[in-house]
Structure 1
Amino acid sequence: MATTNIWQQFKALIPKGVRIVANITAKNGNSTCQAELRDGLVITVKEESVNVGEKAFILDGEIKGTAPNLAEYEVEV
């Protein structure tokens, strides 16, 4: 049954979970990788599908694919 609540319909369009882009620094050999975030923090993520030195899209701690190597800017609002 579809909802007629506009707010609920809008929320359904937004993907759930935490999404980040990180640089893959090492493959651990046990289906996990080390990934460095923009602030320098290193985290362990699931999957080894992205090569070392490339950027990856990470969703809830799991690599979902290769991210393009674009310039990054930080803006404070």
Structure 2
Amino acid sequence: MATVNPWKKFIGLLPGGSKTVGEVVSVNSSAGTSVVELRNGSQVVARGTSVAAGQNAFISDGQVMGQAPSLPQYDFEV
């Protein structure tokens, strides 16, 4: 059943899921997965092998979405 609530309709238009950038540490072609090191130092196993080891990748909901540019990261404390 469709809702008439405008807020729920708006929320339905927004993309969901978590998105992050990390460096691909290794690629397992036979399993179709990649080990990705995130900027905080933790490693995750993501589905997909489209990015080579040593390159940055966009990760969305545990899946490699594509290559990300290598940009500097700055941390500031306020």
Give the TM interval when normalised to the shorter protein: 0.7 to 0.9
Equivalent residue, structure 2, for 1:65: 66
Query: What is residue 47 of structure 1 aligned with on the other side?
Result: 48
In 2, Cα distance between equivalents of 1:68 and 1:19: 15
Q: Quote the Cα distance in structure 1 between the aligned partners of 2:77 and 2:14.
A: 24
Partner of 1:19: 19
Consecutive unaligned residues in structure 1, runs of 5 or more: none
Amino acid corresponding to residue 39 of structure 1 in structure 2: N
SS at match of 2:11: helix
Aligned structure 1 segments of 4 or more residues deviating by more than 3 angstroms: 1-4, 7-10
Distance 1:76 1:16, change over 3 A: farther
Distance in 1 of aligned mates of 2:48 and 2:27: 9
Letter in 1 for 2:23: N
Report the alpha carbon displacement of residue 39 of structure 1 after superposing the two structures with TM. Answer: 1.0
**Count of matched residue positions in the alignment of Structure 1 and Structure 2:** 76
SS of 2:44's equivalent? Answer: strand
- Structure 2: give runs of 5+ residues left out of the alignment: none
Normalised by the length of structure 2, the TM-score is: 0.81
Deviation at 1:75, TM superposition (A): 3.5
**Residue in 1 that maps onto 2:37:** 36
